Amino acid sequence: MIFYDEYSDVPKEIIERFVTEQQLGRLVTVSDSGQAHSGLYPFLFLGSTIEMHLNRRDEQLADLRANPVSSGTRTAHRPSGS
């Protein structure tokens, strides 16, 4: 991973506005066997936390129970025809 200094000093308000405008977030987890899983989920931004709801049978939930380290990214949603 490359760290760019110009991205380290972004005002909190800009980050919050950016995250609040997103509709979907990508969750990346890894199973005990090392298999990566990626899912796209609606989420709620609650100020200092992000809440995602997964189905109890989802393999990513099993991954999180076994290995609570995960990665999340936002995904811009553009309605079709835009």
Only one residue has tokens 């989920």, namely 41
Report H helices in 2-81: 12-21, 59-66
DSSP state of 80: T
Rounded Cα distance between 27 and 50, Å, is 11
Q: Mind listing the domains of the chain with CATH numbers?
A: 10-75 (2.30.110.10)
* pLDDT < 50 regions, the chain: 77-79, 82
Tell me the residue type at 57. Answer: R
Only one residue has tokens 């506005």, namely 17
Tens-digit pLDDT profile for residues 4-16? 777 778 888 988 8
Residues 6+ apart with CB under 8 A from 70: 27, 28, 29, 30, 63, 64
Q: Tell if the pTM clears 0.75, that is, is over it.
A: no
